[in-house]
Structure 1
């Protein structure tokens, strides 16, 4: 005698093949796609606004190149910030590290070594600052907010001491030539190509490597990650090294873009990078991060800045608009988290 098995009350057939049942991954992918499409919609709306308000200036090829070039510097910083926030940390020192790396790399002594000396110094200073942050947080037990705030103050002070408040002009032609139109590849500025390369590598590392899975695990539940065999302290150290590396690369890009090194470089980069990562979908409490969303967040903020500049609107209104976007993004995150 066969026994009849009634279907479960939730309407799903537990006896159906696994391929036919909706998976958790499918639901997560759907949410990610919706979030990405929403960001693309916002970016498209901004482009439409720019095209309507200043069609000749905004849609000009050179202006679009300028937007992408300006997005490249903060974009590289945001990629590193995305990894840190995904792990449940924060880095308030990225702007100061960019400033320190840029002025250290543009001293007269450094410029004597040419292109290689400037690039190496910028990256080395960034990684060195990231190492200090990582050691203080991972092995010194300091709260990321406090450790990186201390680095912010120290790096800014050291940058001011090196420059003595003066602008350091770059005289190395091989560095300056990267910002000229003759060096563009198929109409794309070299800085944008570097940004694209960093973005692709960052996406692959976060989504396709053990390092990325460990980063998400540490951000989701550090104790569970430790019990699973992950060296949480070493992972956090690597993440701040990565953030410092991105700051060093960004500092070199800023040197190419401005042709100088100043102690005021990177001002408020930490806020812009955090904001771009948050509106892109990276969870501020850790455990979820998206490089694609962060890059779209950078492009959205950069486009807003460009539209405001073309329309001669005051910067305070621009900051208010950015603040409203950040608040809206956080509220959406909290609502999404409460319904899942």
Structure 2
């Protein structure tokens, strides 16, 4: 191996050291559980169960990546997920139309994200204050609209259920949806102008403004994306539980 190749490998390891560290840490944790409870953690079904439940959290974590890259925080997304899930169930129960329910669900998430972004970017209120207040507001709105009762929607066995949370073999489809969303957002963050602007603003907001980046719209876009992804997570959670 030449010195140039060695330097390249060292630079790659240094560049992605946090990712390598995370993989090593997770591997050690899994190894620990396998050693201490082999009868549980050597069974394949526990990992398929993991693939069925984790994508809901993972989808929201993907959206939060953009928010954190901006140097902001969003505490409202769990309530957005709950409200969007309620709206989906309500519209689906009243109309029986899957696509109308999807539009109501995703639209509500985007709307909350736009409101968050506008207050943060245009008014200048810190994101932790805005999103914490929005969390309580949306939670109260959800309880008010639902009267504290659950809406029963029978989706199990439907075509949409098979499409969203069915299985290919033993692999839950929601894990494949999560993988597809993750790949798309990877390219959006690292291969698209919007992602470049997100990273630029998060690194130095004043320099980004001087370079002509519309900081306000970048923030509004990122919070809107977070709202949409939280709404999607609400749909997957509803179908998984339904």
- Normalised by the length of structure 2, the TM-score is 0.89
Kindly indicate which of the two structures has a greater share of residues assigned to helix. Answer: 2
Match of 2:214 among 231, 241, 262: 231
CA distance in 2, matches of 1:166, 1:50: 39
CA distance in 1, matches of 2:178, 2:207: 34
Query: How far 1:179 sits from its partner (Å)?
Result: 7.1
Match of 1:76 among 26, 49, 59: 59
Match of 1:174 among 153, 156, 159: 159
Aligned to 1:110: 92
Alignment of 1:125-274 (within 5 A): 125-172=108-155, 173-177=158-162, 183-259=166-242
Change (3 A) 1:174 1:163: farther
Match of 1:53 among 5, 19, 36: 36
Query: How far 1:217 sits from its partner (Å)?
Result: 0.7
Structure 1 residue matching 2:57: 3-state secondary structure: helix
Question: Does the Cα contact within 8 Å between 1:104 and 1:162 map onto a contact in 2?
Answer: no
Match of 2:76 among 64, 73, 93: 93
CA distance in 2, matches of 1:85, 1:247: 15
Question: Does the Cα contact within 8 Å between 2:164 and 2:236 map onto a contact in 1?
Answer: no
Question: Does the Cα contact within 8 Å between 1:118 and 1:252 map onto a contact in 2?
Answer: no
CA distance in 2, matches of 1:66, 1:123: 26
Query: How far 1:185 sits from its partner (Å)?
Result: 2.0
More divergent stretch after superposition (135-144 vs 212-221): 135-144
Task: Point out where structure 2 has 5 or more consecutive residues left out of the alignment.
Answer: none
1:66 and 2:49 are equivalent in the alignment: yes
CA distance in 1, matches of 2:82, 2:52: 18
Change (3 A) 1:156 1:63: same
Task: Point out where structure 1 has 5 or more consecutive residues left out of the alignment.
Answer: 1-18, 260-340
Query: How far 1:121 sits from its partner (Å)?
Result: 2.1
- Normalised by the length of structure 1, the TM-score is 0.64
Query: How far 1:175 sits from its partner (Å)?
Result: 4.1
- The two structures, once aligned, show a CA RMSD in angstroms of 2.1
Aligned length: 234
Change (3 A) 1:62 1:119: farther
Question: Does the Cα contact within 8 Å between 2:92 and 2:153 map onto a contact in 1?
Answer: no
